[in-house]
Homo-oligomer: A and B are copies of this chain.
Amino acid sequence: MNIRHNRFTFVFCLILILIAPIHARADRDPLASWNDGNAKQAIVDFVAAVTDKGGSDYVPPAKRIAVFDNDGTLWSEKPAYFQLLFAIDRVKALAPQHPEWKTQQPFKAVLENDIKALAASGEKGLIQLVMASHAGMTTDEFEQIVADWLATARHPKFKRPYTDLVFQPMLELLSYLRANGFKIFIVSGGGIEFMRPFTEKIYGIPPEQVIGSSIKTKFEMRNGRPVLVREPEIFFIDDKAGKPVGIQKFIGRRPIAAFGNSDGDLQMLQWTTGGKGKRFGLIVHHTDAEREWAYDRKSHVGRLSEALDQAQIEGWLVVDMKKDWKVIYPFEK
């Protein structure tokens, strides 16, 4: 064999191998469900800027941390936070073991489907509901309870599993960021152990990249086996001013991009975009009453008012679901 010819072939093979993925990738738009326009362009421009090794805005991969709210940002949150609907279902399932709930608020309201009375029980009632449904079992048991509920429960409007109600354009955004070296964390006011059973399968986000609110847990040996028992006491509320605290506690470095949809995400957006260097803030604005829901300043769930005002001042991108998204849910495709 001619060595020179062989070396040429070797180099040729190498080039073929190296460019193959680029060709394959160029074939399809990674943000296919986003309409062409300002929003899509702003995302692409930001990613191009921080990944351009020669550019002044370059950020090395280890520091490409992106944080996403969950409720209303990655999946829907109407008619109420899905975790609250889980708590209600759970109280109903446990009711036979708690005859006292028939006369005790907020449980009475839940069992009688009395939304008005439930709302009247306020934050105190809500916490009672969460503790009754989320505490008193081991972490392994709770994980199974959530997994079972997600597998069987159906959304009241769409008659589909709750995990079907994730936003297709956001799934594409997660993949796009990952393909560009970002490490993605969920930073949600929702329960950390309520989210973890599905985030890996649905979003590709592993449990160790999920930050959320939590109750206390206690280590115990039971019959010679170690367990962690969930206790009816709040440990950490990962909402509003708690979000930057949770980010610092769990991640220990400031993200360069933050994605939210409500006033609960305001401080996370401020903390993220207030850092030095190129930063990106995005708010999902629910404007599509037909395909999803339209709400902002006056909504009880996912209220968006102060953060919407701040978006103008800070230059955060406000995504108009109706205008910017070709489809909302994966099942529409």
Q: Which of the segments A20-28, A124-132, A221-229, A325-333 contacts the partner chain?
A: A221-229
The A92-150 residues at the B interface (CB cut-off 8 A) are 139
* Number of chain A residues close to chain B: CB under 8 A: 42
Copies, count: 2
Q: Say whether A46 faces chain B, with CB atoms less than 8 Å apart.
A: no
Chain A contacts to B: CB under 8 angstroms: 6, 9-10, 13-14, 17, 62, 65, 139, 183, 185, 192-193, 196, 200, 206-208, 210, 214, 217-219, 221, 225-226, 228, 235, 241-242, 244-245, 248-253, 267, 270-271, 274
Contact B192 A218 (CB under 8 A): no
A64 to chain B, nearest CB (A): 12
CB-CB under 8 A for A252 and B208, given A218-B241, A244-B228: yes
Contact B208 A248 (CB under 8 A): no
CB-CB under 8 A for A208 and B249, given A219-B267, A228-B244: no
Contact A228 B251 (CB under 8 A): no
A141 to chain B, nearest CB (A): 13
From the candidates B185, B226, B250, name the one contacting A267 in the complex (CB within 8 A).
Answer: B226
